[in-house]
Amino acid sequence: MPAHTKDGTDRRTYEDALNYFRENGFDVLEAPGTQKRVFLKKYNCSAAIEPDQDGYVKLFARPGYLVGGEISRLVDRGYQKFLKTTKNEVPATADHLKALHEFSEELRVATGVPVLYNESLGSVSDAYLYDRVEGRNTPESERKPRPWENRKRKTG
């Protein structure tokens, strides 16, 4: 049963969330070598949770689609979304995105975390790496010269 917390949200305790996950078809796997940290798996997606200091759910590893047994990050390159792990990067299909969206929605319901508007519309990427804006967050002194900055003007 969700509890009204001091920050005004209705969240489930860690134990209540674990019961919800088990009752609703999630695989709940204890993380090796840790106490009270579990990996959740459903729809070939996974995330890791642990209890916070107040006994509510704290996300340890964000939800991601499993690629080669590893939780991937969703990267948006402007023209295509990709599932990126430390070893692989594969184009994300509509089926991948649907599974990830459903998994994330169920995770929010189970934990009592509020759903944000932009998240309810569809897949939210972990990173946005559009080639046309590559390096825009890098200080100007550290940026690579742009092609038009390398050309010397011909004088006639």
Domain extent, residue 20, equals: 7-137
Helix 94-111 vs helix 14-23: angle between axes, to the nearest 10 degrees? 130
Question: Which residues have a Cβ under 8 Å from the Cβ of 2 and sit 6 or more positions away?
Answer: 10, 11, 12, 16, 112
147 in a domain, yes or no? no
Say yes or no to pLDDT of 18 above 60: yes
The Cα–Cα gap between 142 and 156 comes to: 33
148 located within any domain: no
* pTM, full prediction: 0.69
Check pLDDT > 50 for residue 4.
no
Band (pLDDT 50/70/90 cuts) for residue 36 is: confident
DSSP type of residue 125 = -
pLDDT, position 123: 58
Considering only residues 10 and 45, tell me which one the structure prediction assigns the higher pLDDT. 45
Residue 143 lies in a domain: no
**Position 156 in a domain:** no
pLDDT confidence tier of residue 75, bands split at 50, 70 and 90:
confident
Q: How many domains would you assign to the chain?
A: 1
- Supply the pLDDT for residue 34: 78
- Between 131 and 83, name the one with better pLDDT: 83
Lowest mean pLDDT among 6-10, 25-29, 67-71: 6-10
> What is the rounded CA–CA span in Å between residue 132 and residue 119?
25
Is 115 part of any domain? yes
How many Cβ atoms are within 10 Å of 98's Cβ, its own excluded? 13
Decide if 145 is inside a domain.
Answer: no
Instruction: Find tokens 């939210």 and name the residue.
Output: 124
pLDDT for position 33: 79
In a domain, 75, yes or no: yes
Residue 43 has pLDDT above 60, yes or no: yes
Q: How confident is the model at residue 96 (pLDDT cuts 50, 70, 90)?
A: very high
pLDDT of residue 143: 79
For residue 127, being part of any structural domain is answered with yes
